[in-house]
Copies of this chain bind each other. A is one copy, B any other.
Amino acid sequence: MSGLASVFAREARLAWSGGGGPAGPAAFFLAAITLAPLAIGPAPEVLAAAGPGLMGFAALLSVLQSAERLYGDDFADGTLDLYALTPMGLPLLCLAKTLGQGLATLWPLPAIALAGGLMYGVPVQASLMLAAALLAAIPALVLLAGFAGALAAGVRRSGLLIALIAAPLMVPVLIFAAGAGRSGFEGDERALANLGLTAALSLGAIALTPFGIAAAVRSRLG
């Protein structure tokens, strides 16, 4: 158990020391939600309606952005070989590693989504619902990104490949998380159900993806 904790802590530390921790994803997310209105145009109805979805989509993209380094670095510098030989077993290690990096870098997203929702003219309650849904979605998104990242580790232009692999797997998470925000906006009582489903997907991801990630890592050691 202390092994799990130390892997988690190390990955969080590495994310801080090398990449500025949460600054990067936060700024990317912020940039995405600021640029989108520039591209979409300023019509308030459109923005408010598209807001929750856009935010969910931007969150997905910022998770993808950092996915490349998640396993790519370890592959290039030989750490992956070492991880495969640890006493705690690869699946547990991958779980701790992925969540350690993911949570250390992505925790500001829900707060920014809340502020962003208000900026887009989404009502307060719906914005809160959106923020909660993002919070619930992050573990699932991060673990799926980790799975794709492990498969594509060290491949040329792996960023694109990872996006292509992970995006389809993330579809359900995206639908429920953005759905929670949207139904919140439309004053719909399905919001809570959507939130619950999002959380359930994250739990499912915690239970299942570590084995997928470990298998992916093993397949790349050959």
Chain A interface residues toward B at CB < 8 A: 14-15, 18-20, 24-25, 27-28, 31-32, 34-36, 38-41, 43, 46, 49-50, 52-54, 56-57, 60-62, 65-66, 68-69, 73, 76, 155-161, 163-164, 167-168, 170-171, 174-175, 178, 182
Contact of A57 among B25, B36, B156, B178 (CB under 8 A): B36
7 contacting pairs across A/B (C-beta < 8 A): A36-B57, A38-B171, A39-B54, A65-B160, A65-B163, A68-B68, A159-B159
Please indicate the chain B residues that have their CB under 8 angstroms from the CB of A54 in the complex: 36, 39-40
Say how many copies of this protein the assembly contains.
2
User: Are B164's CB and A27's CB within 8 A?
Assistant: yes
Which residues does chain B contribute within 8 Å of A38, judged by CB atoms?
Answer: 53, 171, 174-175, 178
B41 touches A171 (CB 8 A): no
If A31-B167, A159-B69, A160-B25 touch, whether A53 touches B40 (CB-CB below 8 Å) is: yes
Please measure, in the bound complex, the distance between the C-alpha atom of A188 and the C-alpha atom of B28, giving whole angstroms.
Answer: 32
**A57 and B76 form a contact (CB under 8 A):** no
Residues of B within 8 A of A31 (CB): 163-164, 167-168
Task: Say yes or no: A171-B35 contact (C-beta < 8 A), given A28-B163, A50-B46, A160-B66.
Answer: yes
Contact between chains at B160 and A62 (CB < 8 Å) = yes
Contacts of A25 in B (CB 8 A): 160
Report yes or no: A19 in contact with B57, Cβ–Cβ below 8 A: no
